[in-house]
Amino acid sequence: MTPGEPLIRWDWIASHAGEISLRIGEHLELTVIAVVVGLVIAFGLAFVALRLPALSAPITGTAGILYTIPSLALFAFLVPHTGLSVLTAEIGLVSYTLLILIRNIISGIRGVPSDVRDAALGMGYTTRQILWRIELPLALAVIFAGIRVATITTIGLVTVTALIGQGGLGYFILLGIQLFFSTPLLAGALGSIAFAVVADGALVLVQRALTPWTRLR
Amino acid sequence: MAESRGATVEFRSVTKRYGDTIAVDRLSFTVPAGRICVLVGPSGCGKTTSLRMVNRLIEPTSGEILIDGQNVLAEDPTQLRRRIGYVIQQTGLFPHQTVADNIATVPRLLGWPKERIQLRVDELMKLIGLDPGRMRRRYPAQLSGGERQRVGVARAMAAEPPLMLMDEPFAAVDPIVRERLQNEFLRLQRAQGITVIFVTHDIDEAIKLGDRVAVMRLGHLVQYAPPAELLAHPADDFVAQFVGSDRGLKRLSLLTVGGVELAPLDRAKLDGAPVLSPSMSLRDALAVMLSSEAQEASVMEGDRYLGALTLQQIGRMLRVDEPA
C-alpha cells in the first residue's frame, strides 16, 4: 500500500456501489443454497441414522471426514471434475454444513424427554405424528443452533470460493490483495463479517419466534 | 356415584415374558365399570407392565385383555389408545404446547370441531381448579408441579374416555400437594364415573384410592380385594408385611363413626366428652379421643344425639385377623 494512502477510499466505495451490492447478493445466494441444500441432505441422513442406529456412526463419521478436508484442497480436487462453477462451490460449501447439521438434528431429536414421547404414544399419536408434532418442534432449538453455526461457517467459506470465481464478497478481498489496494480488501472482509453478524441475528429472531416456550421460566 | 359410563376391564391369564424372565404371570382379574383398581407392589412386581399392556404400549406374550368384552389385541393400537386416558408420573406434558393445547390433544386427534374442543378445555380447566382465562395460554414450564399433574389428568380425561390408566401420577409431588391431588382426583372420578387402573408402590395411596386393590409380587397377583378386606384378611405374610404392621390403624381410616353400632349411653354422663360426627373416620375419632384423654365420645348429627362411641369399641375394630 502506498504511504499516505487512506485505509478506505470512500469515493471507490461510492463508485463501486452497484458491484458491491451485486457481490452481496451473490454471497447471500451461495450461502442460502448451501445451507438449504445442506439441511435437506442432513435431515435425510439424520432420519436414517435415527431409524437405523447402526448407521449413525458411519453417517456422522463420513460427515466428520468431509469437514476436516481443507477447503482449498477440496476445491482443487473438484475443479478438474466440475470446473470453475457454482456447482463446485456448492459441493464444497454443502459438505461443510453437513457435520454440524446432522449432529444437531440427531441430538435435538434424541434429547426429547422420554416421558413426552411415551405420553404422546400412549394417547394415540402415530409414529409420524410424533416426529412432526412433537420431536421436530422440540428439537428446533438445537437444530437452530446448528443452522446458525453452519450459516456463519458458510459465509466465511464463500469468501474462499472467490478463488474459483464464485466468491461473493471474497472477490473484493482477492482484488485488494492483487492490486495491493486496501479499500476493496477491507470492504470484502468487513462486509463478510457484517453479513455474518446480521445473518446470525436474523436467525436468532426467527428461532425465538418459532420456539416461544424456550424463553420462559 | 353418577351413572357409570366407565368400561369393564378383564385380564384373562395375561402373561408377559422377556426371554426367560417372566414379568407378568397368568394375571387374571376383573375391574368393574366405574371403579378404581389399584395395582400395588414393590418395584419389579410387574404392575407397570400390566398397565401398559392395556393400551398396548407393551404386547402380552399370551392371554387377553378385554375392555367391555372386546379384546384389545384385535384393535388398532392407535385407535385403542385414543379411547383410553393415560397419565404418567413425569406428566409427559408437551413443553412446546400451551395448557389448552395440551388438554386438547386427544380431541384434536379425534377431529372434534374447534368450538367443542374449546368448550371441553374450559370445562376441564374449571374442574381441575385452573382459571381458563389466566392459565389457558401458559406453557407447562410456567406451572407448579401440582398444576402440571392436574393438567396431565385433565388431558387424559379430555375425550371422555371410559377408562383411564394412571402410572404413579402423584408420586413426584410433595405429600401435601399429593393429598390434595388425590382428593380432587377421587371427586372427579366419582363425578365422571370413569373406570381407572392406577399403579402405585405406596400402599397408603392404594388403600385411599382403590375400590379394589391388586397386590402383585414377582409377576403374580397375590391378592385382589377391597382395601378394608385386604387390611382385615391379608392373604399371606407378604401382603401382611406389605400393608404394614399398622394395618389395623389403616383400616380405621376406612371406617366411619356412623358405621359402628353406638353404645346407648345416657347423654348426661357424657358431659365434657368430645363430640364426633358420624361421617368422621374411626382413625380421626381415635385421635380426638386420645388427645382429650376421654374414654368415650358423644356422636352428634347436627343437634341430634345418636349415641356414644367408646375406646373399647374402637379397639375391637382394630383387631384384625392374622394371615391364614
pLDDT in tens, B269-285: 777 888 898 888 888 89
Write the DSSP symbol of residue B256.
B
Give residue A217's pLDDT band: very low, low, confident or very high (50, 70, 90).
low
Q: Cell match 466440475: residue?
A: A82
Instruction: Give the Cα separation of B316 and B278 in Å (integer).
Output: 18
pLDDT value at residue B245: 78
- Amino acid B292 reads S
pLDDT in tens, B235-267: 999 999 888 878 888 888 888 888 888 888 777
Chain B residues lying within 8 Å of A137, measured CB to CB? 96
Q: Which residues touch A22 (CB under 8 Å, ≥6 apart)?
A: none
Q: Are B99 and B140 spatial neighbours (Cβ–Cβ below 8 Å)?
A: yes
Contact (CB<8Å) A122/B57 = yes
- Chain A from 96 to 135: CB within 8 A of any B CB: 113, 115-116, 118-126, 129, 134
Minimum CA–CA partner of B79 in chain A: A124
Query: Which chain A residues have a beta carbon less than 8 Å from that of B76?
Result: none
**Set of chain A residues whose Cβ sits within 8 Å of the Cβ of B82:** 123-124
Q: Is A118's pLDDT higher than 90?
A: yes
d(CA B36, CA B51): 13
Residues in chain A: 217
Q: Which residues of B touch A211 (CB under 8 A)?
A: 96
Chain A interface, best mutation among B78, B96, B112, by max A CB count within 10 A: B96
Per-residue pLDDT band at B135 (split at 50, 70, 90): very high
Interface test with A, best of B94, B164, B165, B167 (most A CBs within 10 A): B94
pLDDT at B249: 83
- pLDDT of A11: 85
**Do B142 and A120 make contact, defined as CB atoms within 8 angstroms?**
no
Closest partner CB to A115 (pick from B81, B90, B97)? B90
A134/B82 Cβ within 8 A: no
Looking at the predicted structure, is the pLDDT value of residue B54 above 60? yes
Say yes or no for a CB contact (<8 Å) between A124 and B109. yes
Query: Pick the residue with more confidence: A216 or B222?
Result: B222
Residue for grid cell 445466494: A29
More confident residue, B137 or A71: B137
User: Chain A: nearest CA to B89, how far in angstroms?
Assistant: 9
Which of B89, B106, B155 has the CB atom closest to A124's CB atom?
B106
Q: What is the mean pLDDT of residues B109-126?
A: 96
Whether B139 and A116 lie within 8 Å, measured CB to CB: no
Rounded to an integer, the average pLDDT of B146-173 is 94
Neighbour tally for A33: CB within 10 Å: 16
Task: Please list, in sequence order, all residues whose beta carbon lies within 8 angstroms of the beta carbon of residue B83, skipping any fewer than 6 positions away.
Answer: B159, B161, B162, B163
Chain A interface includes B49 (CB < 8 A): no
**Interface contacts A/B by beta carbons within 8 Å:** 70
Residue B321 has pLDDT above 70, yes or no: no
Confidence at B1, pLDDT banded by 50, 70, 90: very low
Please tell me if residue A213 touches chain B, with a CB cutoff of 8 Å.
Answer: yes
Give residues 211 to 250 of B whose Cβ lies within 8 Å of A: none
For residues B29 and A155, give the distance between their C-alpha atoms in angstroms, rounded to a whole number. 66
Q: Is the pLDDT of residue B198 over 90?
A: yes
Read off the pLDDT of residues B201-217 as tens digits, 9 standing for 90 and up: 999 999 999 999 999 99
A19 touching B (Cβ < 8 Å):
no
Higher pLDDT, A131 or B3: A131
pLDDT at B58: 96
Distance, CA of A7 to CA of A1 (rounded, Å): 9
CB–CB contact A122 B165 (8 Å): yes
Q: Which residues of B touch A122 (CB under 8 A)?
A: 55, 57, 81, 86, 88, 92, 165
Residue B238 main-chain phi, psi, to 5 deg = -60, -50
Q: Cα–Cα distance between B280 and A199 in angstroms, integer?
A: 69
Q: Is B87 helix (H, G, I), strand (E, B) or coil?
A: strand
Q: Is B57 on the interface with A (CB under 8 A)?
A: yes
Q: Which residues of A80-113 are buried (b: 16+ CB within 10 A; e: fewer)?
A: eebeeebebbbbbbbbbbbbbbbbbbbebbeebe
Strands of B296-301's sheet, edge to edge? B275-276, B296-301, B304-310
How much is the average pLDDT of A51-68?
91
Question: pLDDT by residue (tens digit) across B4-19?
Answer: 589 999 999 999 999 9
Q: Do A116 and B88 touch (CB under 8 A)?
A: no
A116 within 8 A of A134, measured Cβ to Cβ: yes
Q: Say if the Cβ atoms of A119 and B81 lie within 8 Å.
A: no
Compute the average pLDDT of residues B28-32: 97
- Min Cα separation B216/chain A (Å): 23
Per-residue model confidence (pLDDT) at position B320: 61
Rounded distance between C-alpha atoms, residue A189 and residue A192, angstroms = 5
Cell numbers for A172: 473484493
Residue B121: CB atoms within 10 A of its CB come to 23
Lowest mean pLDDT among A55-64, A76-85, B72-81: A76-85
- Model confidence at A214, pLDDT cuts 50, 70, 90, reads confident
Q: What pLDDT does B2 receive?
A: 44
Largest CA distance in chain A: 75
- On chain B, the residues whose CB falls within 8 A of the CB of A134 are 94, 96
**Coil, helix or strand at residue B149:** helix
Q: Pick from A118, A123, A213: which is nearest to B96 by CB?
A: A213
Q: List strand residue ranges (DSSP E) for chain B, in order.
A: 9-18, 21-31, 36-40, 62-67, 70-71, 84-88, 163-167, 195-200, 212-217, 220-225, 275-276, 296-301, 304-310
Rounded Cα gap, residues B54 and B41, in angstroms: 18
- Distance of residue B175 Cα from the nearest chain A Cα, in angstroms: 22
Bridge-partner residues for B309, per DSSP? B297
Whether residue A13 is predicted with pLDDT greater than 90 in this model: the reply is: no
Distance from CA of A62 to the nearest CA of B (A): 33
Q: How far apart are CA B140 and CA A31, in angstroms?
A: 37
pTM: 0.84
Gap between the Cα atoms of A195 and A201, Å rounded: 10
Which cell numbers in the block locate residue B57? 404400549
CA distance, residue B230 to nearest chain A CA (Å):
31
For the residues B46-55, what does the mean pLDDT come to?
Answer: 96
Alpha carbon of A57: minimum distance to chain B alpha carbons (Å): 29
Given a cut of 50, is residue A100 above it in pLDDT? yes
Average pLDDT over residues B83-106: 95
Interface of B with A in 128-187 (CB under 8 A): 139, 141-142, 152, 155-156, 165
* B56: closest chain A residue by CA: A122
Distance (Å, whole) CA A9 – CA A7: 7
